[in-house]
């Protein structure tokens, strides 16, 4: 297998990991105002992702860095043409991170909760818009410069992609909350998951079919995504939170795989195919790709092992106390072993 192909696959894996892990983070933030009826509930919801959310964002940083090093032409065209949407995503992620860090240090948490909500909803929507445009193709000239405008990116297909990722991540977050909480919070998250799952299934499948990847492996990914969402609904109805989360994660994996398999061998198609960026004309030199491959082979298992250990340590469910100080320490959240 050529190194350009290897790095296309690795970048796809990095985006998959980001969407699976950060996807439920976004969902938790989106659901905060709907499930957090009391301050104790809101504290518990935030604490479900408290130990892991910043580690999940590392996948995005590595994906961006890998794209810059392996496919610099792709990186340059993407970040110049998609400058405003990507800037809005970055701004939302900053606001979200600040809200999570400073929420416990403020006497009033309402403002931080709103920032957490919008900082989660914005990227969940805009990542879908961005990837829909990448898959569909954008106007590029012979020098691979983006020649469109912001309105070019806000086409109906891209907006459908944004709705698809928004709903998919919200469902993923609801199932994650059902897995990580107890009592009324778990019941509320389960009700939302049961309601959302059929809608998400329809929207996600409609978006993927509209993207028309065409390849057999693409169709396999579409089928797996649909099966994952159906499995998540079935497991949720049976109260099997672990299986529901595994099925939801599988659906996110298959959804991302469908995007990248439909994209190959392009990395950024142009409306005029002669101007498209491919894994060949956008790639770095063979020497650069060789060095990067050795570095990735050494350090990737270490990073994966560390993150797996983190999730294992913080695997227990959380339950909030109905009374107590507004911004309590860890003792106000008691880990239990339900389910």
Give the residue, 337 or 120, on which the prediction is more confident: 120
pLDDT band at residue 159 under the 50/70/90 scheme: very high
Looking at residue 193, its pLDDT comes to: 95
CA distance 203 to 223: 14
> Which residue matches tokens 């590029």?
140
Looking at residue 332, its pLDDT comes to: 34
Of the candidate ranges 158-172, 208-222, 298-312, the one whose mean pLDDT is the lowest:
298-312
Looking at residue 197, its pLDDT comes to: 95
pLDDT tens digits along 288-307 = 889 988 888 888 888 888 77
CA distance 146 to 143: 9
How many other CB atoms sit within 10 Å of the CB of residue 135? Answer: 24
Q: Answer yes or no: pTM beyond 0.85.
A: yes
CA distance 289 to 144: 22
What is the distance, to the nearest Å, from the Cα of residue 238 to the centroid of all Cα atoms in its chain?
26
Selection from 202, 204, 205 nearest residue 169 by Cα: 204
| The dihedral sign for the CA sequence 31, 182, 59, 139 | negative
CA distance 37 to 44: 11
Looking at residue 320, its pLDDT comes to: 55
Give the residue, 64 or 320, on which the prediction is more confident: 64
Give the residue, 330 or 107, on which the prediction is more confident: 107
Looking at residue 312, its pLDDT comes to: 81
CA distance 221 to 229: 12
Give Cβ neighbours of residue 148 (< 8 Å, ≥ 6 apart).
81, 138, 139
The architecture that CATH gives domain 3-319 is: Up-down Bundle (1.20)
Selection from 14, 318, 279, 39 nearest residue 181 by Cα: 318
How many Cα atoms occupy the beta-carbon half-sphere of 12 within 13 Å?
22
pLDDT over 50 at 314, yes or no: yes
pLDDT over 50 at 278, yes or no: yes
CA distance 329 to 148: 50
Looking at residue 125, its pLDDT comes to: 96
CA distance 212 to 207: 9
Q: What is the mean pLDDT of residues 202-206?
A: 96
pLDDT band at residue 1 under the 50/70/90 scheme: low
Name the average pLDDT for the chain: 87
CA distance 296 to 292: 6
Q: What is the mean pLDDT of residues 26-49?
A: 90
Looking at residue 32, its pLDDT comes to: 93
pLDDT over 50 at 331, yes or no: no
Phi, psi (degrees; rounded to nearest 5) at 143: -90, 10
Q: What percent of the chain has pLDDT over 70?
A: 93
| The two structure tokens encoding residue 180 | 């990580």
| The two structure tokens encoding residue 31 | 């659901």
pLDDT over 80 at 164, yes or no: yes
| The two structure tokens encoding residue 197 | 């799952």
pLDDT tens digits along 93-144 = 999 999 988 887 777 788 899 999 999 999 999 999 999 999 998 899 888 8
């Amino acid at each position: 297998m050529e190194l350009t192909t290897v790095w296309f696959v690795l970048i796809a894996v990095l985006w998959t990991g980001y969407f699976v892990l950060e996807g439920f983070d976004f969902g938790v933030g989106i659901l905060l105002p709907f499930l957090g009826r009391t301050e104790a509930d809101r504290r518990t919801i935030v604490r479900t992702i408290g130990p892991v959310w910043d580690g999940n964002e590392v996948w995005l940083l590595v994906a961006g860095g890998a794209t810059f090093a392996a496919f610099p032409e792709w990186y340059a065209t993407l970040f110049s043409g998609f400058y405003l949407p990507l800037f809005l995503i970055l701004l939302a992620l900053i606001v979200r991170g600040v809200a999570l860090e400073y929420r416990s240090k403020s006497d009033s948490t309402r403002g931080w909760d709103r920032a957490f909500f919008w900082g989660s909803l914005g990227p969940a929507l805009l990542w879908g818009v961005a990837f829909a445009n990448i898959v569909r193709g954008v106007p590029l000239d012979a020098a691979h410069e983006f020649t469109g405008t912001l309105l070019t990116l806000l086409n109906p297909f891209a907006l459908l992609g944004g709705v698809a990722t928004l709903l998919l991540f919200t469902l993923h977050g609801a199932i994650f909350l059902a897995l990580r909480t107890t009592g009324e919070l778990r019941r509320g998250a389960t009700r939302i998951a049961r309601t959302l799952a059929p809608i998400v299934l329809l929207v996600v499948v409609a978006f993927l079919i509209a993207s028309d990847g065409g390849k057999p492996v693409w169709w396999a990914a579409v089928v797996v995504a649909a099966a994952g969402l159906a499995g998540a609904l079935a497991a949720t109805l049976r109260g099997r939170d672990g299986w529901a989360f595994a099925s939801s994660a599988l659906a996110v994996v298959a959804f991302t795989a469908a995007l990248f398999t439909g994209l190959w061998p392009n990395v950024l198609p142009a409306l005029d195919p002669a101007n498209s960026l491919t894994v060949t004309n956008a790639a770095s030199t063979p020497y650069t790709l060789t060095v990067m491959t050795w570095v990735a082979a050494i350090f990737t298992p270490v990073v994966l092992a560390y993150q797996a250990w983190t999730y294992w340590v913080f695997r227990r469910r959380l339950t909030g106390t109905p009374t107590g100080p507004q911004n309590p320490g860890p003792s106000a959240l008691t880990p239990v072993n339900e389910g």
